[in-house]
Amino acid sequence: MFDGITIVSYAILTLAVLVGSWRFRQLPTNLRYLMALLGLEVATEILANILRFYHKPNLFISPVFAAGELWILALMYDKTLQSPRFSRLRPWLAGGFAAYCLLDSLLAPEVARFKPALQLVESALILSLVALYFRKLLRELRVTQLDLEPMFWVSIGLVINNLGKSQIYLFSNYLLTHYSKQLNLNIWAIHSLLLAVLYSCYLVALWIRPRN
């Protein structure tokens, strides 16, 4: 089941990359950042799978990916929110989190355990970005059809994925050390399912015509 869902999520990710590349010239700046994020996702997945294939530890990629993901998402939401206050705050937010990831990796290197605190902090920051976007949507009321708004789809994917995966990361190490491999695989299959939902939302965001 785990492999099946993972393959589906990879297929959706590939499709999103293809659609994004096909429409790249017409995409606004914020969605071009989404393409950069998808590139990072693809590179991370490839590297993680290669290391797994050669039975090498690949958990060290997680903080690097988290820092990169938050950096790109912050840039993407900066372009979307167009708020001078957020623009001033963004480098500190993304830079601070990147520094935290670096310090956490250097001071407490892990090869066989997850870093739930780092993942939870990242999820909280991403959910804050989405909250700012929803606040802007409700305050300004410029968007008349939410289903035609790419950033709304991106935000839906991020909310579902981050709220769901925060539960998994919260118990990830406990699950790893105390319970069977089958349960672990089942839980990580749910994680893959959440990723498939996220990639589907990215795909929709890149597929629909952005509103001016």
* Contact set with another protein (CB under 8 A): 134, 137-138, 141, 143-144, 146, 156, 159-160, 163-164, 166-168, 171, 175, 178-180, 182-183, 186-187, 190
Q: Which C-beta is closer to another protein: that of 113 or that of 135?
A: 135
Contact 74, 94 (CB under 8 A): yes
- The amino acid at residue 23 is R
What is the rounded end-to-end Cα distance, in angstroms, of the chain? 42
Query: CA of 161: how far to CAs of 150, 178, 199, in Å?
Result: 17, 25, 10
| Shorter beta-carbon distance to another protein: residue 70 or 156 | 156
Shortest Å distance, C-beta 155 to another protein: 8
Task: Compute the least distance from the CB of residue 169 to another protein, in Å.
Answer: 11
**CB closer to another protein out of 106 and 141:** 141
114 dihedral zone (left: phi>0; alpha: psi -120 to 50; beta): beta
Which one, 99 or 183, has the nearer CB to another protein?
Answer: 183
Q: How many Å apart are CA 156 and CA 158, to the nearest integer?
A: 5
Q: How far is the CB of 103 from another protein (least distance, A)?
A: 28
CB of 6 to another protein, least distance (A): 17
As measured in angstroms, the least distance from the Cβ of 3 to another protein is 18
Please give the angle made by the CA atoms of 125, 32 and 124, to the nearest 5 degrees: 5
Which residue, 56 or 113, is less far from another protein as judged by CB?
Answer: 113
**Strand runs labelled E in the chain:** none
CA distances from 141 to 3, 129, 136, 189 (A): 42, 18, 8, 38
Q: Which residue has the tokens 């994020």?
A: 37
Rounded to a whole number of angstroms, the minimum distance from the CB of residue 200 to another protein is: 14
Nearest to another protein of 93, 190 (CB atom): 190
Q: What is the dihedral of CA 39, 117, 58, 172, to 10 degrees?
A: -110
